[in-house]
Amino acid sequence: IDIGWLDDSHLDEMLAVFKGGFPTTLQFSAFSRSKCAGIDARLDPDSTLLTWMEKEEQLFRALERHIVSQRLTAGFVTSRGEADVDAFVSYSLSVQNRRKSRVGLTLENHLEQIFTQNSIHYSRTGRTENRSKPDFLFPSQSSYQDAGFDPSRLLMLGVKSTCKDRWRQVLAEADRIPEKHLLTLEAPISKHQTDEMRVKSLTLVIPTPLQSSFKPEQRVELISVREFIALARARQTQG
C-alpha cells in the first residue's frame, strides 16, 4: 500500500479516543473505516479493501509519528544521566515489530468486515488438523469438523499482506479442502511462483486494481475479492 501522505486531520480525535496511546488493531481498523465515506463493500469489495487499508495506514502513521516523536523528544537517559542505548534499541525494535505485526491483522480485520457486509458465513482462525488455524474457514469451523458435511461446500482462505515463500504454509492448513485460496496484496508475483501455486492447487485472490501488474498469462489464474465472495456464497447456499 502506497499511502502517499499522512492523514493527520483526525490526530486530535485519535489522541482523545485512544487516550494518547496505540489502540488494538480491531479498534483502529473500525475507526479507519468510519473515516471512509461513500464506501460500499457489497458493490465493490476489491476497491473497498484497498481504500480501507490505505486509510488505516495513513491514520496509523500520523498517530505513530506523534507518539514516537514525543518519546524521542523525551530522550533515552539512564538515572545517572547517561545515554541509555539499550532503552533506545528496545524502543526502536518495538516500533518496528508493531509495524510488521499490525499489517496482517489489519488486512484480516477489513476482510472480515467485507465478508460480514456481504452476508458470508465464516470462522476466523478456526482450528483444523494438527492445531492449524486457517485465517478464514467457510462456512464455519463446526462445518469443517463435521465429518458428514459435504467437503465440496468448504472453502479456506489464507491471508498474507506479502506472501514470498510463506504461501506454502497455507497448503497444510486444511486437509479436507484440496483447493486452497490465498489473498495477498503483493503484486506482482513471479510467474515461476504462480506456476508452482497452480500445481499445488492454490488460487491467488488479488484485488482487481492490483491485477494489472501481473502478466496476461498469470491474470487468467487470478480471482478477485468479488469473485471469491461469489464462490463462497454459492457454496454457502448449495444444497
Locate 28 and state its grid cell.
483502529
Give the dihedral of Cα atoms 68, 74, 77, 81; nearest 10 deg.
Answer: 170
Extended beta strands in the chain, E state: 123-124, 136-138, 155-160, 180-184, 202-205
Mark whether 91 is an active-site residue.
no
Order of all β-strands in the sheet with 123-124: 123-124, 136-138, 155-160, 180-184, 202-205
Catalytic residue among 28, 144, 214, 228: 144
What does each C-alpha distance from 6 to 58, 76, 171 come to in angstroms?
5, 26, 37
Backbone angles phi, psi at 224, to 5 degrees: -90, 170
User: Strands (DSSP E) along 74-194, which ranges?
Assistant: 123-124, 136-138, 155-160, 180-184
Which residue has 469473485 as its cell numbers? 227
Maximum distance among all Cα pairs of the chain, rounded to whole angstroms: 73
Positions annotated as catalytic residues are: 144
